[in-house]
């Protein structure tokens, strides 16, 4: 169960967020959702792959964190050892909710910041303060707002991006097989990526079409991100 409430500088004036990343906080997962708005940052650290949502069968983007479903190779000593933490993790315990503000002249489904009060990162004793002493936003909350905005915008264009890739037949299934120094073999299945050769051989017309839609750069970021598989392998081997 979750207890998600609209964030309020009066009700939550003493709210603090514990800045730790660990298995206890649910961070020991092999992959997390990622969004087109953060691909430039994600591709510097993690492989970007596609998976199909089990319920909708729509494609979604994921950042690969480990070689098994319950393995995050970036976790160590309550820290996330990477230059960039995926937005879906960094925003915790905040989420985007929707509120009818039409009575006051706003949108009927206006996006608002909400907080999961059942999150283990919630505290009043330790962590980053959310509000200033007299009710203003802290710099931490401003950063969270920016992260949530990135997720909101990225979610809005994700389906459109995959439609563009599908139309140009750029999506292909990929099976990854990793052999470690100790002889262990890991096979990662059920994933998809961009077909590099088809991307490179697109006609000028289709390249321009993809570029105008804003997805050409993302396509190249996705293909280049697969070079980070070696980084995962190196981290895994170093801990054996």
Q: Is 194 inside any structural domain?
A: yes
Q: Is 240 inside any structural domain?
A: no
Instruction: Give the sign of the dihedral formed by CA 135, CA 122, CA 27, CA 58.
Output: negative
In this prediction, residue 109 carries a pLDDT of 84
Would you say 159 and 127 are in contact if contact means Cβ atoms under 8 Å apart?
A: no
Q: Is 168 inside any structural domain?
A: yes
Q: Is 172 inside any structural domain?
A: yes
Higher pLDDT, 100 or 213: 213
User: pLDDT class for 156, splitting at 50, 70, 90?
Assistant: very high
Q: Is 238 inside any structural domain?
A: no
Residue 1 has pLDDT above 60, yes or no: no
CA angle centred on 142, ends 141 and 145, rounded to 5°: 85
Q: Is 150 helix (H, G, I), strand (E, B) or coil?
A: helix
What would the mean pLDDT of 89-117 be, rounded to a whole number? 89
What would the mean pLDDT of 105-113 be, rounded to a whole number? 84
Mean pLDDT of the chain: 95
pTM: 0.94
Q: Which of 17-21, 68-72, 101-105, 156-160 has the lowest mean pLDDT?
A: 101-105
Would you say 154 and 35 are in contact if contact means Cβ atoms under 8 Å apart?
A: yes
Containing structural domain, residue 81: 4-231
Residue 103 has pLDDT above 80, yes or no: no
CA angle centred on 161, ends 158 and 166, rounded to 5°: 125
**Residues whose CB falls within 8 Å of the CB of residue 172, separated by 6 or more in sequence, listed in order:** 192, 193, 194, 195, 198
Percentage above 90 pLDDT, the chain: 90
What would the mean pLDDT of 111-120 be, rounded to a whole number? 95
Residue 2 has pLDDT above 80, yes or no: no
Q: Is 146 inside any structural domain?
A: yes
User: pLDDT class for 240, splitting at 50, 70, 90?
Assistant: low
CA–CA separation, 61 and 45 (whole Å): 15
Percentage above 70 pLDDT, the chain: 99
CA–CA separation, 127 and 116 (whole Å): 16
Query: Which of 142, 148, 141, 146 is CA-nearest to residue 127?
Result: 141
Q: Is 170 inside any structural domain?
A: yes
Q: Is 163 inside any structural domain?
A: yes
Q: Look at the chain and report how many structural domains it folds into.
A: 1
In this prediction, residue 102 carries a pLDDT of 79
Work out the end-to-end distance of the chain between its first and last CA atoms, rounded to an integer number of angstroms.
37
């Amino acid at each position: 169960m979750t207890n998600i409430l609209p964030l309020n500088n009066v009700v939550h004036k003493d709210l603090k967020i514990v800045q730790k990343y660990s298995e206890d906080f649910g961070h020991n997962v092999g992959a997390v959702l990622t969004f087109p708005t953060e691909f430039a940052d994600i591709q510097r650290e993690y492989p970007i792959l596609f998976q199909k949502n089990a319920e909708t069968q729509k494609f979604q983007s994921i950042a690969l964190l480990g070689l098994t479903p319950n393995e995050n190779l970036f976790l160590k000593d309550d820290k996330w050892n990477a230059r960039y933490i995926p937005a879906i993790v960094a925003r915790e315990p905040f989420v985007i909710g929707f509120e009818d503000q039409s009575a006051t002249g706003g949108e009927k489904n206006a996006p608002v910041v909400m907080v999961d009060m059942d999150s283990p990162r919630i505290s009043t004793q330790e962590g980053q303060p959310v509000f200033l002493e007299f009710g203003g936003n802290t710099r931490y909350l401003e950063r969270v707002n920016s992260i949530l905005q990135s997720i909101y915008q990225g979610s809005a264009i994700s389906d459109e991006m995959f439609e563009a890739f599908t139309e140009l037949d750029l999506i292909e299934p990929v099976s990854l097989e990793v052999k470690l120094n100790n002889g262990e073999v890991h096979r990662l299945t059920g994933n998809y990526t961009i077909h590099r050769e088809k991307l490179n051989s697109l006609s000028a017309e289709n390249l321009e079409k993809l570029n105008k839609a804003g997805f050409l750069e993302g396509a190249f970021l996705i293909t280049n991100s697969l070079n980070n598989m070696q980084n995962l392998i190196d981290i895994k081997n170093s801990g054996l």
